[in-house]
Structure 1
């Protein structure tokens, strides 16, 4: 029998050593950095939502990977938004500068409050056009998914006093990398029986491999490492 498209969800990758909570925290730290330096007033915190894994499990091949009505994947770039977000990140108050690859622009969608990911048994390839109008290629063994928004436009970003456009207020202590971000909704209870792989992923708090390992994620994790002491 051929291997299934999805290998496992919410647990480990093959390269980086970081727990699930640590990886979500790293994303929130990036979002908070952009929020503070660009004065975004509606940036939500991200929480891991295992229900989003079900959307990825419906995909049976690289060709099936696409955005949905209540989620977006990191695999399908939006050229216009990539250029817009890259211009915003130029204002990050850090020494390390980078042209953000495909997944990073989805990481900065201010309206997203949920994140999940799955490892793949195959390698998916794709292309995108960067802010210099140059065609770039990438490959990945992992797919990240963000919800609950299925669209992405410049109007999703609101600017002003940070936290001033948070309908549920802002995250406060006790918190880690999410302090100051908009308080998001609670993660819905998963109604289906979790698989063995999910149970294993949920039960581990110690450092483990991060949920990504390919080239497109290396630049993002490098940025995370460079802003650790800045925020």
Structure 2
């Protein structure tokens, strides 16, 4: 666990979710855990959010938030994704999450190989960080639960796209709805060519 290299320091885990979705924002979380919470959360099953059931993520998000010294959630919206591209929008969301922290971390452990630009904090990039770092895994869970709830709420306003089930990702039902009804205002227009290529394969 890379956290062990920073004993006695304040560590923030940073991760984002929603990069591959066809609609909705990309969401990032920054989580600062006390060292005393590491073993507790490891025993509770904190790991890469993609490998957990929805019910388990919900349970763990509550536990993470109750034990965290602080956590912040931030996002980049669809307009920013279309303007900047999804990578830069993801980095922007992560930067915002870190900048919103009232506790200044000594180091940020960031999922992936891309460094967060203009960050006034030391950072370490970890490829597959949500599998290697407890604090990054905790951030991935918090971000995933928050974004999933947002997409469920948006499903009420955009009932044609089955967002409550697919959370904005390109399932067959979602792609079929795009073919029949076109894109909504929360769909990423910059992903149009991706949608078309996926549709041709169906």
Q: TM over 0.5: same fold?
A: no
Task: Tell me the TM-score normalized by structure 1.
Answer: 0.23
Of the two structures, which has the highest relative contact order with CA contacts closer than 8 Å and spacing of 6 or more? 1
Tell me the TM-score normalised to structure 2 length. 0.25
* Bigger helix share: 2
